[in-house]
C-alpha cells in the first residue's frame, strides 16, 4: 500500500496518496514510508486548496488576475478542473502561461538529467507529456499545453529525487 501511495503522490494524485498512506498507517502506525507520503500529500493538498481559493477570489474580481491565479493552481495541480476551466476561458490569453510552463518543464528535465534520473520511468513519462504539450501548443490549445508541460515538470522533479 505504501508503494501505491508513493506512485499516486508521484503522479500528482495527492488525495489518492493520502488515502493509501492512511490505509497503510492503520495497519502499521509507525511505518515511516507511509508517514512520509501522508505528510507530503497533506502539504500538497494544502497548497492546492490555497491556490483554488485564490483562483475563486480572483475570478470574482475578474480580469487578468484570474488567468494568473489559474496558472498558479495548475502549477500545484495541473489537472484541477477549476484551473482548466479558467485557462480555457482565457483562450489565446493563456499562451504566455503555456510557454512559461514549457520553460519550467525544460528546466526540470535538465535538472533530472543532471541528477541521473534519465533512466527512471518518471523521466520517460515526462518526455511523453512534454511532447503532448508541444503538440497542444502548436494546435493553439494553450490550457492543455500548460497542463501537459506542468505534468511533465512534476515527473521530471520526481525523477531527479
Summary mean pLDDT of the chain: 94
Banded pLDDT at 156 (limits 50, 70, 90): very high
**What is the average per-residue pLDDT within 15-30?**
94
Instruction: Give the model's pLDDT for residue 161.
Output: 83
- Mean pLDDT, range 6-35, rounded to an integer: 92
Report the distance separating Cα 46 and Cα 40, nearest Å. 10
Report how far residue 133's alpha carbon sits from residue 141's, in angstroms, rounded to the nearest whole number.
Answer: 9
- Residues whose CB falls within 8 Å of the CB of residue 26, separated by 6 or more in sequence, listed in order: none
Most confident of 7-16, 62-71, 116-125, 131-140: 131-140
User: pLDDT > 90: what percent of the chain?
Assistant: 87
Task: Say which residue, 12 or 120, is predicted with more confidence.
Answer: 120
Q: Is 63 left (phi over 0), alpha (psi -120 to 50) or beta?
A: left
Per-residue model confidence as pLDDT tens digits over 119-136: 999 999 999 999 999 999
What pLDDT sits at residue 62?
Answer: 77
Band of pLDDT at residue 12, cut at 50, 70 and 90: confident
Amino acid at each position: 500500500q505504501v508503494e501505491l501511495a508513493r506512485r499516486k503522490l508521484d503522479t500528482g494524485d495527492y488525495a489518492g496518496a493520502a488515502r493509501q498512506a492512511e490505509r497503510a498507517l492503520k495497519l502499521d502506525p509507525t511505518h515511516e514510508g507511509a508517514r512520509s507520503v501522508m505528510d507530503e500529500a497533506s502539504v500538497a493538498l494544502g497548497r492546492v486548496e490555497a491556490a483554488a481559493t485564490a483562483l475563486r477570489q480572483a475570478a470574482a474580481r475578474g480580469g487578468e488576475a484570474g488567468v494568473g491565479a489559474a496558472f498558479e493552481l495548475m502549477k500545484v495541480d495541473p489537472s484541477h478542473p477549476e484551473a482548466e476551466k479558467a485557462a480555457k476561458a482565457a483562450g489565446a490569453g493563456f499562451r504566455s502561461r503555456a510557454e512559461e510552463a514549457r520553460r519550467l518543464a525544460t528546466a526540470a528535465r535538465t535538472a533530472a538529467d543532471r541528477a541521473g534520473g534519465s533512466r527512471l520511468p518518471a523521466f520517460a513519462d515526462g518526455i511523453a507529456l512534454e511532447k503532448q504539450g508541444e503538440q497542444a501548443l502548436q494546435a493553439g490549445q494553450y490550457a492543455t499545453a500548460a497542463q501537459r508541460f506542468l505534468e511533465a515538470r512534476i515527473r521530471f522533479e520526481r525523477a531527479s529525487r
